[in-house]
Amino acid sequence: MRSTVHAFLRLAGLSLLVLSLSVRSGRAQQPAAPTTIGPSSPVTDMRSTTAWKDSTRALRVCADPDNLPFSNAKREGFEDKIALLIAAELGDSVAYRWWPGRRGFIGNTLSALLCDVVMGVPSKYDLVRATTPYYRSTYYIVTRTDRHLDITTLDDPRLKQLTIGVNIIGEDYTNTPPAMALSSHGVTQHLVGYSTFYGEEHQPRDIIDGVVKGDVDVALVWGPLAGYYAGQSPVPLTLAPLPDTDSSGIPFAFDVAIGVRHSDRELAAKLNEILARKRPQIEQILRDYHIPTTSSAHPNTPASSRRS
């Protein structure tokens, strides 16, 4: 179960939390220089649990600089917009410490006091203190609407003949929830892996582009990726939600929160107040980015994507 949850993390925009997986990547291990939005001031190495209070009126955020729709160095992601909203409520600007998603991300950034919050962590993640969740999503079955496949479950027998795109972290197709679930459903052939380590050769949208171009018949994609890139597709795409938990016991749906250091109880409490107060604005940001959200029982699922 632990490896399954960690596999979800990368796909949920938590490239930073692959820290528990032994993986290889072509991207550089060194972090980009920190970028400050608003009044410029140095990021100091303060070894105390009051670091977030003493950080010169800036909400300091750890984020991946190349991981849309979640975050990027141009601050175009929906997590970037939510961070800006929260900072405004605190009376702060936003300062980023950009660091590619890697093993050791939390230890090298949040735990090292280079920043104070990590957007988009699972609500039950033992390396951080998590706020209350601000959205919940699941994995989606993505197909071209004009093919009329109407696949809504992994039990569909046609999946054994169709080409299926799945995101992968390693090289064995068994380290993301959908890939693991496919095996339990007897679907082990015709799989096409799409890397979750992004750079010049691989981008987050590649798996959706695979459906659009016909390279794959079906893709199994984490909700925010599916909704955002389907919303930009030149052809209509149909998104069907997977259940909270597969019949094999593999989870597909996850609550997503903000992570702070375990010692920063006061900061977590302030963030919880803001998340509750600004929920309508946060929900609007999610809608603007076509992020499909679910409750425990009732998915809020677009029947098909909007044309770009």
For 121-155, how does the pLDDT look when each residue is reduced to its tens digit (9 = 90+)?
999 888 999 999 999 999 999 999 999 999 999 99
More confident residue, 128 or 44: 128
CATH class of 2-135+254-300: alpha beta
pLDDT at 256 exceeding the cut of 50? yes
Average pLDDT over residues 226-232: 96
Mean pLDDT of the chain: 79
Contacts 24+ apart (CB under 8 A), 269-274: 270/90, 271/86, 271/117, 271/131, 272/131, 272/132, 274/86, 274/89, 274/90
φ, ψ of residue 120 to 5 degrees: the values are 75, 45
pLDDT at 86 exceeding the cut of 70? yes
Q: b or e along 179-209 (b: 16 or more beta carbons within 10 Å of the residue's beta carbon)?
A: bbbbeebebeeebbbbbbbbeeebbbbbbbb
Least confidently predicted of 26-30, 61-65, 240-244: 26-30
So what's the pLDDT on residue 50? 60
Domain with CATH 3.40.190.10 in the chain: 2-135+254-300, 139-241
Query: What pTM, to 2 d.p., does this model score?
Result: 0.80
Least confidently predicted of 4-8, 180-184, 207-211: 4-8
Given pLDDT bands bounded at 50, 70 and 90, which one contains residue 104? confident
pLDDT at 156 exceeding the cut of 70? yes
Among the CATH numbers 3.40.50.2300, 3.40.190.80, 3.40.190.10, 3.40.50.10860, which is that of 139-241?
A: 3.40.190.10
Given pLDDT bands bounded at 50, 70 and 90, which one contains residue 267? very high
Three-point CA angle 113, 261, 116, nearest 5°: 50
Task: Please name every residue paired with 282 in a beta bridge, in sequence order, or none if there are none.
Answer: none
pLDDT at 172 exceeding the cut of 60? no
